[in-house]
Amino acid sequence: MQVGRTGVLTPVAELKPVLLSGSTVARATLHNQDEIDRKDVRIGDTVLVEKAGEIIPAVLKVNLSKRPADARPYSILEATGGLCPACGNPIMKEEGKVAWRCTNFTCPAQAVSGITHFCSRSALDVESIGSSVAEALRSSGLAASALDLFSLKLEQLANLNLGTPEEPRRYGEKNAQKALDALQNARELPLERWLIAFGIPLVGEVVAKALADTHPDLEHVADSSYLRDIVRLDELMEQAAKTNPNTRENRKAVKEGALSAEAVQERHQELTDEIDRLTAPYLETGYLRKNTAKFSYGSEIGVAAAKSLQSFFTSAAGNHTMDVLRGLGINPQSQSYRANLLEIPAGALSGKTFVITGTLSQPRDYFEQLIAAHGGKPPEPFPNPPPTSWQAAAAAPNGTRPSSWAFPSSPRKTSTSWSGNRPPSLPYSVSHRRYRNPFPASCRRLPPVPSRRSSRQKRPMCPLRPPLLPSMVRLIFSVCRIPGI
């Protein structure tokens, strides 16, 4: 079993050495569990091997005529015992994926990819440390995991060899100092950036922001009752769906006498009451949303993400990560935590929804944080986005849009009206003809474009329009002209 740079476990077939395309082959990749099941590869089988691209040996198919009677099916989960061969921490399979993956943030087999992601722009933004530096840090033994970066000294980092022993290339004092300064600044970065930096499966920018909105710091995320209740709620909803007396299966079982109608109704009511008790405090604070029509609950943190977070923070690797951070004196704080999400934060932009588009003078996150600091918010994702209050249009790469203008959105989405002086006349390239009327009529100088007729609306019958009549007459005379007249 091989553990790749990204933590993916790849099964490898151990073969009797055979000469293939000029080299001796003793191992061949099996890709993943689905490929093993599809080809029905078992321990003890005789297989046909090919070199994919004339380079990588791979198992093509099994010779079933030579299969021994004691050939055993192979399972990655059983073979590994559910633990990573490189670090001994639990492995998991993401929903909808085929690969098993190590969940250890500090797994030595994925040190390079872990350090690179840890220092990426969306995470802690340590600009001077990329994949080549991460590879050099791992090969030199200076950093076996991302958290080892905080123990590096200036002299160690400056003398790091990024080249080869024959052609050395020093990292240099200037780059080393820049990296150490960025790591020092990373200690004060907000909670969501650290959650992204951990590389926890299914935890991206949206989930990390939702965690920062509902938890004051990292310690509360690691021991979150909210995440536990999300997982528990999913279990209760699944049980309630199975015990619903109105389902076809339960009605059939009651009719056949296999179940008692009273017992089914009583169990379903117990589960419903427990769901109501569990969700009541979260509905009051806006941490959960209820869909009454479908009897379901939703939040920005899905069940799969909650399970992934719990798996990480309850594992040995998660406990080790928290211990190292405590030793470094790092406990990232949330800058957007709110005990009640239903309360509109006070500010000059309170209750307003903004859309930002175009090429900006600062990163988009900068403007989103600036709007949020004054009470505004970006639009919520589909399917229930709120009305947009304002649209900030910056200069586009081709220079066709106006620069640094903020417009109220279209009146069909919100009742906000333009106040103050009108903007200058818009160039034709940014008019409503091209952008489907992005600005209200009070902001435009160009005449409105009549809407297209509906496909069901009848058009007036006019087979011969006046401009075509002379041409039609000339055509008729030319066709009917008699030769010699």
Beta 12-20 vs 91-93: how paired, if at all? unpaired
Beta carbons within 8 Å of 96's beta carbon, 6+ residues apart? none
d(CA 434, CA 396): 14
CA proximity to 357, closest of 403, 320, 306: 403
pLDDT of 214 over the 90 cut: yes
Reported as a single tens digit per residue, the pLDDT across 50-64 is 887 777 888 889 999
Residue 304 in contact with residue 228, Cβ under 8 Å? no
**How many Cα atoms within 13 Å fall on the side-chain side of residue 112?**
13
- Which amino acid appears at position 64 of this protein? L
Q: Residue 333: pLDDT band by 50, 70, 90 thresholds?
A: very high
Residue with structure tokens 């490929």?
35
User: Quick one: what percent of the chain has pLDDT higher than 90?
Assistant: 32
In whole numbers, what is the pLDDT of the chain averaged over residues?
A: 79
pLDDT of 435 over the 60 cut: no
Question: Which tops the pLDDT comparison, 118 or 394?
Answer: 118
Question: Which tops the pLDDT comparison, 357 or 475?
Answer: 357
d(CA 111, CA 89): 15
Q: What are phi and psi of 374, to 5 degrees?
A: -105, 15
Residue 167 in contact with residue 310, Cβ under 8 Å? no
Q: What pLDDT, on a 0 to 100 scale, did the predictor assign at position 128?
A: 86
Angle between helices 316-328 and 303-314 (to 10 degrees): 70
pLDDT of 459 over the 60 cut: no
pLDDT of 411 over the 50 cut: no
Rounded to whole angstroms, the maximal C-alpha distance in the chain is 111
Residue with structure tokens 């988009």?
364
Element (H, E) at 37: helix 33-39
| Cα 67 from chain centroid (whole Å) | 44
Residue 90 in contact with residue 103, Cβ under 8 Å? yes
DSSP reduced 3-state for 60:
strand
d(CA 371, CA 220): 26
Strand order in the sheet with 23-29: 12-20, 23-29, 56-62, 47-52
Question: Which tops the pLDDT comparison, 394 or 259?
Answer: 259
Question: Which tops the pLDDT comparison, 398 or 160?
Answer: 160
Residue with structure tokens 């970066």?
149
**Most confident by average pLDDT, 2-11, 150-159, 420-429, 438-447:** 150-159
In the chain the first and final C-alpha atoms are separated, in Å, by 98
